[in-house]
Amino acid sequence: MNDGSDTRRFPHRTAVRARVPVTLHRAGHRTADLVTFTGLPDREEHLAVVVPAHRHTVPLVRLHSECLTGDVFGSARCDCGPQLEEALTSIAREGGAVLYLRQEGRGIGLYNKLDAYVLQDRGRDTFEANRLLGRGEDERDYTAAAGMLHALGLSRVRLLTNNPDKARQLTGLGIEVAETAPTGVYLTGENGRYLDAKARHAGHTLPVSLSPSTPRSDDMEVSVP
Ligand SMILES: Nc1nc2c(ncn2[C@@H]2O[C@H](COP(=O)(O)OP(=O)(O)OP(=O)(O)O)[C@@H](O)[C@H]2O)c(=O)[nH]1
Ligand SMILES: [Zn+2]
């Protein structure tokens, strides 16, 4: 039973280890701090990209789960790359933080995610494919993210996401989610079924009509709220 104090609700002793200023070419050449941590509960090297918010505004925060294929190589199979770009641009403009969480493949890792892609190419959806591999549909836990936010002094946030589970978990970990702001919807010729499965199966708020029969095109269709 928690008594409302942050230490009782959130026992991990996560603290800031170092802050390193960088200029972000992908966010209008704005300056941000890369922040590392000690005492993370899962011992992964999670990173925060932080831009100070104005004193009277609630900082914008994105919990971005690592996606090497989308974030680095620009794979069109998912929407992660453009979501990361949008988040960096928004926090550079408004202040806040992108937590870059080492949760590749919704927590199952890169090689398993690529195995899941093979199953998806044989007709399974993204969640079924995880189950067939003997893994959870979504193994992500946001305890480390909550620790990072507490350590950064960001205990009240506007959360940039379409995934209701992120707000739910953070709230349970003592972070006040004052508002949930949807990301844009980045539909490519290849990610229609992936986005559709997220909306149908995991309740993501994706305000576009998506279905496996969505006509495929080579151009990305972008709908930004
Ligand atoms: N297992 C698995 N993971 C995937 C697949 N495609 C992308 N991912 C991973 O999914 C994570 C991103 O999760 P998403 O479900 O796209 O989005 P989200 O983070 O839950 O929600 P948003 O905050 O709205 O972006 C990243 O870690 C990706 O590596 C896939 O087909 N299978
Ligand atoms: Zn991705």
Rounded CA Rg of the chain: 18
- DSSP, collapsed to helix, strand or coil, labels residue 22 as strand
| Cα–Cα nearest to 61, from 194, 211, 167 | 167
From residue 175, alpha-carbon distances to 50, 164, 198 in Å are 17, 14, 24
| Residue 207 CB neighbours (<10 A) | 11
Tokens 């974030």 identify what position? 71
Q: How many angstroms is it from 55 CA to the middle of ligand 2?
A: 33
CATH class of 6-103+140-223: alpha beta
Looking at the CA of residue 107, tell me the nearest atom of ligand 1.
Answer: 27
Measured CA to CA, the distance from residue 8 to residue 16 in angstroms comes to 20
Mean pLDDT is lowest, of 35-44, 100-109, 195-204, for 195-204
Q: List the Cα angle 211/140/6 in 5-degree steps.
A: 130
Report residues whose beta carbon is within 6 angstroms of any ligand 1 atom: 65-67, 78, 80, 83, 103-106, 108, 113, 116-117, 120, 126, 130, 161-163, 166, 183, 198, 204
Q: What is the pLDDT of residues 170-203, one digit of tens each?
A: 999 999 999 999 998 898 888 888 888 888 888 8
Question: Domain limits of the chain?
Answer: 6-103+140-223
Q: How many angstroms is it from 2 CA to the middle of ligand 2?
A: 36
Q: Taking the CA atoms of 37, 38, 41 and 43 in sequence, report the sign of the dihedral they define.
A: positive
- Summarize the confidence of residues 59-70 as an average pLDDT: 98
Looking at the CA of residue 62, tell me the nearest atom of ligand 1.
Answer: 23
pTM tops 0.80: yes
Two tokens at 185? 């919807």
Nearest CA, atom 23, ligand 1: 161
Task: Lay out the sheet containing 47-51: strands in order across.
Answer: 15-24, 30-38, 47-51, 96-101, 60-65, 156-160, 176-181
ipTM: 0.97
Residue 40: predicted pLDDT = 96
Please give the single-letter amino acid code of residue 131: R
Residue 62 annotated as binding site: yes
Average of per-residue pLDDT values in the chain: 88
**DSSP E strand stretches across 79-138:** 96-101
Q: How many angstroms is it from 4 CA to the middle of ligand 1?
A: 32
Two tokens at 187? 């539909």
Q: What is the set of active-site residues?
A: 138, 140
Tokens 């998806």 identify what position? 120
